[in-house]
A and B are shown apart, each in its own frame.
Chain A
Amino acid sequence: MPLPVSDTAPVERRLLRDVVYSRLYDGILDGTLEPGETLLDEKLTAWLGVSRTPIREALMKLADIGLVEMAPNRYTRVAPIDLKAIDEAIYTTGLLHEHAARTIVPGVDNATVTRLDKAQKDVKKAAKARDIPGLGHAFNDFFLELERAGENSVLVTVSEGLSPQLLRYISVWQTPFGVEDLAAALAGILAAVKDRDGAKAGDLVRELYAGTLTQFLEDYRRRDSEIAGSPVF
């Protein structure tokens, strides 16, 4: 079908960029594109069959959420797995999830409860089957579904921007430890959701994420003397 030329160009370009973005996003998360792998424009244009512009745009978006690293005139590569950055991102996500639990759970609708129920069951199934990527997605969905039931779309966007770090972390688990605990923790939170008990749900979320802060303080946080030399803010 012939399309009118004038108005469609921005839309087409936008769609292309989004398609390229999700192909690359999935490729990085499922390991097709390996951590540290150099991303050459020519190879990507050949692989995806699109021009350079949508690829550069998608790469910039991926750099923004920490999945790609770009050093102008030097390299563009898949971000290496950085356990410190991952821990930091999961801690941050925990703050948002805890807030969502405290504020959204008291008035949560039944449709959302059904979706959370499904996500929790998926986590349990994936844990049993030792399907680690599936577990990651279902775990992530549980909290995103809760957040989407609230009215704060900025919070959802920030949370979604942090998700890939969690998903990457789970995807590199060699020995799946504690996966049953994860399903049990979500079951406890789900029970509080069904009771519309926001305080309880919030406390349980905080408990679930407390480990990332402990680990950060023990393993990753620099000593006070080092912090003064190159502060993060």
Chain B
Amino acid sequence: MPVPVTEASSPRRLIRDEVFLRLLDAIVDGDLLPGEQLYDAEIERWVGVSRTPVREALNQLAAMGLVEILPQRRTRVTPIEPPRLRELIITVGVLVSGIVRDTTPLLTEADRDALRAILEDADRSSIGTGLSSDGFLGVFIRRLDNATIARLLKRHLPEVLRALNAAPSQTAHEKARPAFKALVDAAVAGKADKAARAATDIFDKALVTIADEFAASHKELR
């Protein structure tokens, strides 16, 4: 994820952003697991800062749905709820598909080269990277230049990515690969609607399998 850039950054703001990014990475990468209890004192020791920036960072993560704060009781990493995860994946897919459709006609020659290069690079064409600023999504969003939709995605993608990283199997990755190639091929050829349909497939066919898998494993636990 790209580092949020702040104008006229005061030291306090920098510390809060630092704590926020450390916690965000830990949640997305799975160092902090879904449902894991978070203790202010431990975070303060871990990051080496005082209580205020820790609370501010936690509030920011709570607004993103990654942390759950019950005042005066407990704070924890939000557990994965398969129905919500499914809705989230579909909603993010609607936005991404719309962006791909409306940006395809705006792509520059450099963008098309970048998309081809991403497709050939196994690391960057993985679905996780694909949905970050280094991947195909970054190429489209930057070209469209709509800051509001960029902000919305920065806010909701981490919740999708942490579920992808915690997923029981590789099914989502495997199903995404052909859709991803179809998206790049269509976009490079200037076929907006076809590219948008492939983008939808990445979410509605590949990523939703994560929600299905979590739903099945939750059932087993019961």
- Would you call the interface of chain A mostly helix, strand, loop, or mixed? helix
A88 and B95 within 8 A (CB) = no
A232 and B91 within 8 A (CB) = no
B152 is an interface residue with CB less than 8 A from chain A: yes
A71 / chain B contacts, CB cutoff of 8 Å: 8
A158 / chain B contacts, CB cutoff of 8 Å: 91, 152, 156
B45 / chain A contacts, CB cutoff of 8 Å: none
A88 and B147 within 8 A (CB) = yes
Query: Across the two chains, which residue of chain B brings its CB closest to A161?
Result: B152
- Would you call the interface of chain B mostly helix, strand, loop, or mixed? helix
A233 and B154 within 8 A (CB) = yes
Q: Which residue of A154, A217, A222 is within 8 Å of B88 (Cβ)?
A: A154
> Measured between C-beta atoms, what is the minimum distance from A159 to chain B in Å?
9
**Contact flag A95-B98 (CB < 8 Å), given A158-B91, A222-B145:** yes
A153 to B133, CA, bound (A): 27
A10 is an interface residue with CB less than 8 A from chain B: yes
A232 / chain B contacts, CB cutoff of 8 Å: 141-142, 145-147, 150
**Contact flag A155-B150 (CB < 8 Å), given A13-B71, A231-B142:** no
B13 and A72 within 8 A (CB) = yes
**Contact flag A91-B146 (CB < 8 Å), given A10-B70, A10-B72, A154-B88:** yes
A227 and B12 within 8 A (CB) = no
Q: Which residue of A84, A99, A227 is within 8 Å of B143 (Cβ)?
A: A227
B73 is an interface residue with CB less than 8 A from chain A: yes
A92 is an interface residue with CB less than 8 A from chain B: yes
A10 / chain B contacts, CB cutoff of 8 Å: 70-73
**Contact flag A95-B70 (CB < 8 Å), given A72-B10, A88-B147, A155-B87:** no
Q: Interface residues of A toward B: which range?
A: 35 or more
B12 and A72 within 8 A (CB) = yes
Interface string of B136-172 (1 = CB under 8 A from A): 0110011111111110111010000000000000000
Interface string of A1-44 (1 = CB under 8 A from B): 00000000110011000000000000000000000000000000
**Contact flag A233-B142 (CB < 8 Å), given A85-B147, A92-B148:** yes
B152 and A227 within 8 A (CB) = no
B152 and A92 within 8 A (CB) = yes
A155 / chain B contacts, CB cutoff of 8 Å: 87, 90-91, 94
Query: Could you jot down 24 A-B contacts, CB within 8 Å?
Result: A9-B71, A10-B72, A60-B59, A64-B63, A72-B12, A74-B8, A85-B148, A88-B146, A88-B149, A89-B148, A91-B146, A92-B95, A92-B149, A95-B95, A99-B94, A152-B90, A153-B84, A154-B91, A155-B91, A158-B152, A216-B146, A227-B142, A231-B142, A232-B147
Residues of chain B at the chain A interface (Cβ within 8 Å): 2, 8, 10, 12-13, 59, 63, 70-73, 84, 87-88, 90-91, 94-95, 98, 102, 106, 108, 133, 137-138, 141-150, 152-154, 156
Q: Which 3 A-B pairs have the closest CB atoms?
A: A88-B148, A95-B98, A154-B87
Known: A60-B63, A73-B10. 9 other contacts (CB 8 A): A14-B71, A60-B59, A61-B63, A88-B149, A98-B98, A153-B87, A213-B102, A231-B133, A233-B142
